[in-house]
């Protein structure tokens, strides 16, 4: 099989004590949406951190376009086209919306205005509120700021840890539509989601993680149709 665009391959490691990840494999192709689901504490966020270089692996590797990036820092991975929106503290609340977007582009030395207009095109409300402190925005709008900030680096891979946490179903649908739009532009999406059913609906590929290991892997549709996955992870 051809080498995936981005792969965390047989990742094993943790936070210094016992391993949290046990040979966990996650991969995504250009323009594809890959979704990680699983119970609380399964290691979903840990797997994302490992792929982004925030966790030292004891086994396995991370490769981007075939290049082994296992030992690269997160900053070096950003320079290679990866962007990560963590689960919490993903915006600067005291800075304006626009300042948050500018911060996202801090590594760039070229003109960022075109990208900023693209972000505003994707999330028009952010343009309206661009001079407001991001902390004054609603939960869904803050998530838009976080995603927008990540897009300011012009990534080829966008990693999102629970982008719809704490938002209403309508706001979730809206955000998923925008994420689909981003994927259609050719960017790979690697996303952790608590709203498993809805996320698998838009997933090209889904991973069910349990106790730091792959339990089920398949297309979103295949996982949604799998009786075992439904019974154990999707509430029947
Ligand atoms: N910074 C940390 N230090 C030590 N243990 C952690 C840390 N973050 C998470 N863990 C532990 O790792 C396990 C997996 O956590 P996490 O990856 O956050 O799960 P999930 O995102 O699937 O809910 C849990 O047992 C959690 O307590
Ligand atoms: Mg998590």
CB 137 within 8 A of CB 156: no
* 63: in domain: no
Q: pLDDT (tens digit, 9 = 90+) per residue, 181-229?
A: 999 999 999 999 999 999 999 999 999 999 999 999 999 999 999 999 9
* 68: in domain: no
pLDDT at res. 235: 82
Question: 106 CB under 6 A from ligand 1?
Answer: no
Question: 24 CB under 6 A from ligand 1?
Answer: no
Cα 117 to ligand 2 centre (Å): 31
Ligand lying closest to the C-alpha of residue 42: 1
Calpha distance 93→29 (Å, rounded): 33
**pTM above the 0.75 mark?**
yes
Three-point CA angle 156, 159, 165, nearest 5°: 145
* 25: in domain: no
Q: Of all protein residues, whose CA lies closest to atom 6 belonging to ligand 1?
A: 15
Give the mutation target among 15, 18, 47, 85 for probing the ligand 1 site: most ligand atoms within 8 A of CB.
Answer: 15
Query: How far lies 110's CA from each of 66, 116, 122, 196, in Å?
Result: 27, 12, 21, 38
Going by their DSSP bridges, the two strands 157-161 and 82-85 should be labelled as parallel
| Those residues with Cβ within 8 angstroms of residue 79's Cβ, 6 or more apart along the chain or in another chain | 107
Number of domains in the chain: 1
Question: 88 CB under 6 A from ligand 1?
Answer: no
Question: 59 CB under 6 A from ligand 1?
Answer: no
* 123: in domain: yes
pLDDT of the chain, 236 residues: tens digit per residue: 689 999 999 999 999 989 999 999 999 999 999 999 999 999 999 999 999 999 999 999 999 999 999 999 999 999 999 999 998 888 999 999 999 999 989 888 899 999 999 999 999 999 999 999 999 999 999 999 999 999 999 999 999 999 999 899 999 999 999 999 999 999 999 999 999 999 999 999 999 999 999 999 999 999 999 999 999 999 87
Q: How many CB atoms lie within 10 A of CB 97?
A: 29
Question: 114 CB under 6 A from ligand 1?
Answer: no
Question: 37 CB under 6 A from ligand 1?
Answer: no
Question: 43 CB under 6 A from ligand 1?
Answer: yes
CA-based torsion, 216, 173, 45, 65: positive or negative: positive
pLDDT at res. 124: 97
* 10: in domain: no
CB 4 within 8 A of CB 29: yes
* 61: in domain: no
Cα 32 to ligand 1 centre (Å): 26
Tokens 């803050």 belong to residue: 142
What are the φ/ψ torsions at residue 168 (nearest 5 degrees)?
-70, 160
pLDDT at res. 1: 63
Going by their DSSP bridges, the two strands 67-68 and 59-64 should be labelled as antiparallel
* 3: in domain: no
Q: Of all protein residues, whose CA lies closest to atom 4 belonging to ligand 1?
A: 15
Give the distance from CA 41 to its chain's centroid: 17
Q: Which two tokens stand for residue 198?
A: 């809805």
Give the mutation target among 8, 16, 19, 20 for probing the ligand 1 site: most ligand atoms within 8 A of CB.
Answer: 20
Cα 114 to ligand 2 centre (Å): 33
CATH number of the structural domain spanning residue 150: 3.40.50.300
Q: Domain limits at 93?
A: 33-40+74-206+215-234
* 191: in domain: yes
Ligand lying closest to the C-alpha of residue 165: 2
């Amino acid at each position: 099989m051809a080498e995936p665009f981005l792969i965390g391959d047989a990742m094993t490691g943790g936070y210094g004590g016992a391993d949290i990840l046990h040979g966990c494999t996650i991969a995504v192709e250009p323009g594809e949406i890959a979704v990680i689901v699983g119970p609380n504490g399964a290691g979903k966020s840990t797997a994302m951190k490992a792929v982004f270089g925030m966790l030292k692996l004891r086994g396995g590797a991370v490769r981007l376009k075939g290049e082994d990036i296992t030992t690269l820092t997160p900053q070096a991975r950003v320079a290679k086209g990866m962007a990560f929106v963590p689960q919490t503290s993903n915006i600067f609340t005291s800075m304006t919306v626009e300042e948050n977007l500018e911060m996202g582009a801090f590594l760039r030395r070229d003109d960022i205005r075109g990208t900023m207009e693209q972000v505003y095109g994707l999330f028009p409300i952010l343009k309206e509120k661009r001079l407001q402190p991001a902390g004054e925005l609603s939960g869904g709008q803050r998530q838009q700021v976080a995603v927008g900030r990540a897009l300011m680096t012009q990534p080829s891979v966008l990693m999102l840890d629970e982008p719809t946490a704490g938002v209403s179903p309508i706001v979730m649908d809206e955000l998923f539509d925008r994420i689909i739009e981003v994927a259609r532009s050719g960017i790979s999406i690697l996303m952790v989601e608590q709203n498993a059913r809805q996320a698998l609906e838009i997933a090209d590929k889904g991973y069910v993680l349990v106790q730091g290991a792959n339990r089920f892997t398949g297309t979103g549709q295949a996982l949604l149709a799998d009786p075992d996955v439904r019974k154990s992870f999707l509430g029947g």
